[in-house]
Chain A
Amino acid sequence: MPVKEFTIQHEVGLHARPASKFVQLAASFPCDIKICNLTTDSKMVNAKSVLSVLTLGVNQGHQIRIETNGEKAEEAAEALAQLIADNFGEK
């Protein structure tokens, strides 16, 4: 089960456009994807739910953890990592 940790660099955090892109990408994979905000010590939530992701309150500089589990788990983790590395396509 791939587990990855990231620091969100985008200036609005996981909010607005970055949150939408993140959730849309997560939803395109068949596996379970969970996310939590390490900085605020939040619980794990469904990464395919934009409302749940918003309730994590991930601001710029916050650390998040993503866990993927099931079919195409590796690919999903890789794709989400790439999205974050590309600063949600706003480099």
Chain B
Amino acid sequence: MSKVYQGISASTGLAIGPVWLYRPATIQIVRKNNCDPSIEWQRCQSALAKANEQLEQLHQRTSETIGAAEAEIFEAHQMILSDPDFLETIQTNLNTQTYNAEIAIQDSVNTYANMLLALDSTYFQERAQDVLDIGHRLIHILMGVPTDSFELPEKPVIILAEDLSPSDTVQFPRNKILGICTQKGGPTSHTAILSRSLGVPAAVSVPFDWETIQNGQMAILDGAVGSLLLNPSPDQQKTANQRQTAQQTEWEHLLKHAAEPANTSDGKTIEVVANIGSADDARHALTLGAEGVGLLRTEFLYLNRESMPTEAEQTQVYREIFEIMGNRPVVVRTLDIGGDKAVPYIGFEEEANPFLGWRAIRMADNQPDLLRIQFRALLRAASAETDLRIMIPMISNADEIKMARNLLNQAKQELQNEKIDTPETVQFGIMVEIPAAAIQARELADLVDFFSIGTNDLTQYALAVDRTNERVAHLASPFHPAVLRLIRMTIEGAHVKGKWVGLCGEMAGDPLAAPVLLGLGLDEFSMAASSIPGLKETIRQLDSQQCKDVANTVCELLTAQDVKAYLQKLL
């Protein structure tokens, strides 16, 4: 039986081959009491010297085989070996506890790792891995166990691991690695960074199950989407092989041009931005050519917790993202949550139809503070440089827009009264995802600075298809001419009033949809970062005038299948 595990993309590319489970043996450290601190300190010092030698070699090898920038991490490790506070902590542990050097090092390493893990930024949290890596190295040396005691199989493999340390990652010879897949880690972990510089497909935070997987099982690792497919069928494998060859050449070409603007063949520049949900996503998006953020989801701040995130907490998270994006536009979607999610402090009740229920802006009547505090945090987080654009989801009528706008003005006024700086201009817009908003676009455009079309929901609401219901999900196609006409109505309504329109559903990154959306006059395409290089290339090959004809034609076709067939013929 084949099985798919979905994680997070860390390095694009497709790996096909046998898996190999990397589970470094955990060594048992024996605790000894009443040791002589001066003898144990001497043991520490010779271990430190030995570790320094090893790191020196790793540094040299890595700069020769991978690059100077990648080798820097080992210099950083060497710095930690001579860190005065680290050494003092070890010495104090030895003197006060009179236990052995192994335990003293382990305790000191854990102290620093925990302090780093307690920081808010993932950037700093990931440095805990470095400290643990050093501790690991020192303890191995003390116990006389080789640090890098593993042997890869003869044939190249997809490495599955809980997490990989920098030393692990560079120890694997490049020609033996097809791909890397870890259970832990984010897009800026060492695994991710090194995989990208090695050009190895990688996925992180993949929830695979150790117990059911054996060395040598076939798998397909799709780095672009971050998924691991175990035991693929022969058909799946064949398709993957073909995709792999085509992708490799294609992706190299795309990446080379990702940072360049998306100009149509007739010279129109289209804005291509990313959908993100964290600071890590923001950094990753920039490396793939994002010109800004078209959708910052904020739900993650509210989930998996017992109480409302405070204004200060929110401010800090937003600020980190705004700082990464500099003066590029950032469209932030305010809380879009409903009865399908368990958020105890908001007071959801079980609903028969949570997607038609009390969610997003509809909660503001009853719980205005939710939105007001989010507005305050956003305004506080924005610097003079930030191009902040606030977007309200789930709008079905003008009153909701007015209410949200009032709350935003109220938040701004409060901050000014408190003598807190707020940005001079903040754009205010709405998601167009309920057909009513699309139909009334012309009138609603007077109340906003922009629209962003959420095609996933617009499709589900226009076609009355529950996307999460497998039996009907196939009916939910944004290529349905009725959906396309709603998009057309939205764009026309906004443009008549001089407002801009973005689109942040999956459709924005679909090359098949690009000529239609371009032809309808869409101003901004917002998508998963991994789609950006490809979509930019698609746009460069299109002529905006010709696309107008395409758009007009497909809006008059009968079915979604007709539309797709027509567009496929154009490719």
Q: Which residues of A contact B (CB under 8 A)?
A: 11-13, 15-17, 20, 23-24, 45-46, 48-52, 54-55, 57, 59-61
Contacts and interface: CB of A to CB of B under 8 A. Distances in A.
Contacts of A23: 79
Interface stretch (B82-90, B170-178, B369-377): B82-90
Contacts of B120: 57
B116 interface: yes
A38 to B, nearest CB: 15
Interface string B71-84: 01001100110011
Contact of A11 (B80, B84, B323): B323
Nearest to B89: A51
A59 B80 contact: no
B287 interface: no
21 contacts: A11-B323, A11-B324, A13-B121, A15-B124, A16-B76, A17-B72, A20-B76, A20-B79, A24-B79, A49-B85, A50-B76, A50-B79, A51-B86, A54-B116, A54-B124, A55-B116, A57-B120, A57-B121, A59-B121, A59-B323, A60-B323
B75 A20 contact: yes
Given A46-B85, A57-B120, A59-B121, A51 B323 contact: no
Contacts of B480: none
Given A15-B123, A20-B76, A23-B79, A55 B115 contact: yes
Which of B85, B319, B320, B324 has the largest number of chain A CB atoms within 10 A?
Answer: B85
Interface of B: 72, 75-76, 79-80, 83-86, 112, 115-116, 119-121, 123-124, 127, 131, 319-320, 323-324, 383
B278 to A, nearest CB: 15
A50 B83 CA distance: 6
A17 B69 CA distance: 10
Contacts of A49: 83-86
Nearest to B319: A61
Nearest to A58: B124
Which of A13, A16, A23, A51 has the largest number of chain B CB atoms within 10 A?
Answer: A51
Given A13-B123, A55-B112, A57-B119, A50 B319 contact: no
A60 B85 CA distance: 24
Given A54-B127, A55-B112, A48 B119 contact: no
Nearest to B323: A60
A60 B324 CA distance: 9
Nearest to B75: A20
Contact of B320 (A24, A51, A54, A59): A59
A60 to B, nearest CB: 5
A20 B83 CA distance: 11
Contacts of B72: 17
A49 B108 CA distance: 14
A55 B86 contact: no
A32 B115 CA distance: 23
Contact of B323 (A48, A55, A61): A61
The 8 A-B pairs of least Cβ separation, nearest first, read A49-B85, A57-B119, A55-B115, A52-B85, A57-B124, A49-B83, A51-B112, A60-B323
Contacts of A12: 123
B421 to A, nearest CB: 13
A56 to B, nearest CB: 9
A58 to B, nearest CB: 9
A49 B121 CA distance: 20
B562 to A, nearest CB: 49
Contacts of A15: 123-124, 127
Contacts of A13: 121, 123
Given A13-B123, A55-B119, A57-B120, A50 B323 contact: no
A51 B131 contact: yes
Nearest to B112: A51
A45 B76 CA distance: 19
A5 B112 CA distance: 26
Nearest to B85: A49
Which of A13, A24, A55 has the largest number of chain B CB atoms within 10 A?
Answer: A55
A55 B72 CA distance: 20
Contacts of A11: 323-324
A81 to B, nearest CB: 22
A80 B313 CA distance: 31
A51 B121 contact: no
Nearest to B126: A15
Which of B72, B119, B383 has the largest number of chain A CB atoms within 10 A?
Answer: B119
Given A51-B83, A55-B119, 19 more contacts: A12-B123, A13-B123, A15-B127, A20-B75, A46-B85, A48-B84, A49-B85, A51-B80, A51-B85, A51-B86, A52-B83, A54-B116, A54-B127, A55-B116, A57-B121, A59-B121, A59-B123, A59-B323, A61-B323
A8 to B, nearest CB: 11
Contacts of B75: 20
Contacts of A54: 116, 124, 127
A71 to B, nearest CB: 17
A59 to B, nearest CB: 6
Nearest to A16: B76
A16 B119 CA distance: 15
Which of B72, B79, B319, B324 has the largest number of chain A CB atoms within 10 A?
Answer: B79
Nearest to B76: A20
Nearest to B279: A59
Nearest to A46: B85
Contacts of B320: 59
A15 B188 CA distance: 14
A18 to B, nearest CB: 12
A59 B83 CA distance: 21
A60 B121 CA distance: 11
A55 B130 CA distance: 13
